[in-house]
Amino acid sequence: MKRVLMLSLLCACALVVLAACRREGEPAAPATSAAPAAPAGTATTAALASAAVDLKDVSESTPDYIIGISYQVPANQHPALAAELKKYADAARADLVEAAKSRGEPGGATSAPYDLSLSFTELMNTPSVVAVAADGSSYTGGAHGAPLIARFVWLPQQQRMLTARELIRDEKGWAAISGYVREQLHSALSQRVDADDLPAEERAEVVKNASRMIDDGTEPAPTDFALFEPMAASDGRLGGLRFVFAPYQVGPYSDGTQTVEVPADVLLPFVSPEYRPLFTGG
């Protein structure tokens, strides 16, 4: 009986040793109950997604269209902003290419190659505000090309774009800004007409038509003031904003792009509290 018990104990020990040896030689099994990794935050995801954006100049020439896009901005410094710039350029290119595809269809405007010219330039680069201007034109037939004008005002510390709608949320504010801008535009119009030395009747007609365009294009609403550039002050903050109006918005095409500078003291009473520190005196 003792011999049988001893043999049983020896067999059990051998099995234990064998099992241990097998576990040492085999790879560890993956854990099946491990918690999944926490998802990246929205800001991190956006940064990772935009990190790969490469702002390369574009030069294309085909029998149907010619495209030239120039990026005169530092792309790596603000990748999320770079992604917005490329998005705008890609959309403009896609529109032109799509229009060029229909050139041969009945009713096509012209047989000449379509043309896209677009340039991005840096206007301001401070720790609190970065601004980029996009200027160009897209020709798809007719007497002249359609203007391409955009402004990007980026807040690096908040990692987002600053828009006119967020900057000023008060209707009274837009009414005040509209009045100020209209006064400046009407004054500039009078100076241009006086310089042309037109006959009285023709002058009155020109002023009437141009004045109507000014008033129609500067309604007291953020949509009419969506394009703006920051103006640097001596203290490193913003001394005001330069509002940009594309051709046809406040005047005929021949007048080109027009701008009006609005100083900080006019803006500040209506600027949203969170953005007032951006301005001198805020």
Question: What was the pLDDT predicted at 48?
Answer: 43
Strands 65-72 and 114-125: what pairing?
A: parallel
CATH number of 53-102+111-161: 3.30.565.40
Going by C-beta distance under 8 Å and a sequence separation of 6 or more, which residues neighbour residue 255?
192, 210, 247
12: enclosing H helix or E strand: helix 2-25
pTM for the whole structure: 0.79
Q: Which two tokens stand for residue 59?
A: 């030069």
Question: What was the pLDDT predicted at 245?
Answer: 98
What is the distance in angstroms between the CA of the first residue and the CA of the last residue of the chain?
99
Question: What was the pLDDT predicted at 33?
Answer: 34
Could you name the CATH architecture of 164-278? Alpha-Beta Complex (3.90)
Chain Cα centroid distance, residue 227: 11
Q: How far apart are CA 257 and CA 261, in angstroms?
A: 14
The segments of the chain whose pLDDT lies below 50 read 1-50, 106-107
Assess whether the region 53-102+111-161 and the region 164-278 belong to the same CATH fold: no
All structural domains of the chain with their residue ranges: 53-102+111-161, 164-278
pLDDT digits (tens, 9 = 90+) for 210-229: 999 999 999 999 999 999 99
> How many other β-carbons are positioned within 10 Å of the β-carbon of residue 95?
15
